């Protein structure tokens, strides 16, 4: 059974949460990405909460800006330090003084998880990342890989003021097209589409603000008229080594047919994550959690 509630955090943010399993058991926490929501983890919440599969307390919040969670209007409210504050507070509520058994995350949820594992490694025993680039390799490829720069061009569109309105048009037609990229989307049934529409009806701008607040997106091409004067912030961005080091044991699952986040992002990752198990999934796209849930379950279970 999936339970749902609105969780008040000490700093005034409220997160809409989903969970399965008995409170007091070791906690697995799941973080979703864009344009998704906590409901996408339901099969894993139910699976890992069963006694024969570990009997974990499985918790999946809707990140701030998504579904019924708080949606601050200021872009600055979506900077990494505030997203980390939310999840660290929820971990304390759900797990107390004990670390999570594992933090499991996809896409933007992975962006939060990489940072949390770097800054607060004591919060978790293990980290599982699914198709979400490490900031060190992502910055490298956004600077030097023409293929990744092209694949990430959509990030700048998501920052345009009209993006939310355009993505909502015609029954969210463009967003559904986004979900169908990379591989056949037989998982995107009418029932699942209805769940997405219900989530998106609460507004898209909160999720889009993750892109607006992040410095990790491609530089816009300089116009010929101002090529000498236009500032190119990504080219000059450097991240300190201390911000990139991950010391917790990490499992990285990667659908190789991801058309937005290309597999070469994982080359050289062991420099930042010494205790790394990298498992490429040849038949998975960015949406591999939906496409091959049994494979994801098996890989996570073996890692735990």
Domains contained in the chain, number: 1
pLDDT at 235: 86
Q: pLDDT averaged over the chain?
A: 95
Question: Over 60: is that where the pLDDT of 29 sits?
Answer: yes
Beta-carbon count within 10 A of 43 CB: 15
Structural domain harbouring 134: 3-303
Task: Give the span between the Cα atoms of 204 and 103, in whole angstroms.
Answer: 25
Task: Give the span between the Cα atoms of 234 and 143, in whole angstroms.
Answer: 7
pTM of the model: 0.96
**pLDDT class of 228 with cuts at 50, 70, 90:** very low
Task: Give the span between the Cα atoms of 218 and 77, in whole angstroms.
Answer: 21
Question: Over 60: is that where the pLDDT of 109 sits?
Answer: yes
- The CATH number given to whatever domain includes residue 137 is 3.40.50.1820
What are 115-131's pLDDT values in tens digits?
999 999 999 999 999 99
For the segment 183-194, the average pLDDT, to the nearest whole number, is: 95
Q: H or E stretch including 5?
A: strand 3-8
pLDDT at 223: 53
pLDDT at 225: 42
122-134 burial, b for 16+ CB within 10 Å, e for fewer?
Answer: ebbbbbbbbbbbb
> DSSP class of residue 41?
G
Beta-carbon count within 10 A of 104 CB: 31
Q: Which of 7-11, 135-139, 223-227 has the lowest mean pLDDT?
A: 223-227
Task: Give the span between the Cα atoms of 103 and 108, in whole angstroms.
Answer: 13
């Amino acid at each position: 059974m999936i339970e749902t509630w609105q969780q008040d955090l000490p700093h005034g943010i409220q997160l809409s949460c989903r969970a399965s399993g008995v409170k007091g058991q070791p906690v697995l926490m799941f973080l979703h990405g864009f344009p998704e929501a906590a409901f996408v983890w339901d099969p894993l919440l139910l699976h890992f909460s069963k006694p024969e599969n570990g009997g974990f307390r499985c918790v999946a919040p809707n990140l701030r800006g998504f579904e019924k969670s708080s949606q601050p209007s200021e872009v600055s409210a979506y900077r990494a330090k505030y997203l980390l504050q939310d999840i660290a507070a929820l971990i304390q509520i759900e797990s107390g003084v004990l670390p999570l058994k594992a933090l499991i995350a996809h896409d933007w949820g992975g962006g939060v998880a990489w940072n949390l594992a770097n800054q607060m490694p004591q919060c978790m025993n293990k980290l599982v990342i699914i198709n979400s680039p490490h900031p060190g390799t992502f910055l490298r490829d956004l600077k030097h890989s023409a293929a990744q720069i092209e694949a990430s061009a959509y990030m700048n569109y998501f920052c345009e003021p009209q993006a939310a309105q355009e993505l909502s048009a015609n029954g969210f037609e463009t967003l559904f097209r986004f979900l169908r990229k990379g591989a056949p989307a037989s998982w995107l049934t009418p029932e699942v589409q209805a769940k997405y529409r219900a989530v998106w009806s609460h507004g898209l701008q909160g999720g889009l603000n993750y892109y607006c607040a992040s410095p990790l997106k491609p530089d816009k091409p300089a116009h010929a008229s101002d090529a000498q004067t236009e500032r190119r912030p990504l080219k000059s961005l450097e991240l300190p080594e201390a911000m990139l080091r991950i010391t917790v044991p990490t499992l990285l699952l990667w659908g190789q047919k991801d058309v937005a986040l290309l597999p070469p992002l994982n080359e050289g990752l062991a420099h930042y994550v010494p205790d790394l198990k990298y498992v490429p999934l040849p038949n998975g796209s960015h949406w591999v959690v939906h496409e091959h849930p049994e494979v994801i379950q098996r890989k996570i279970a073996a890692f735990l």
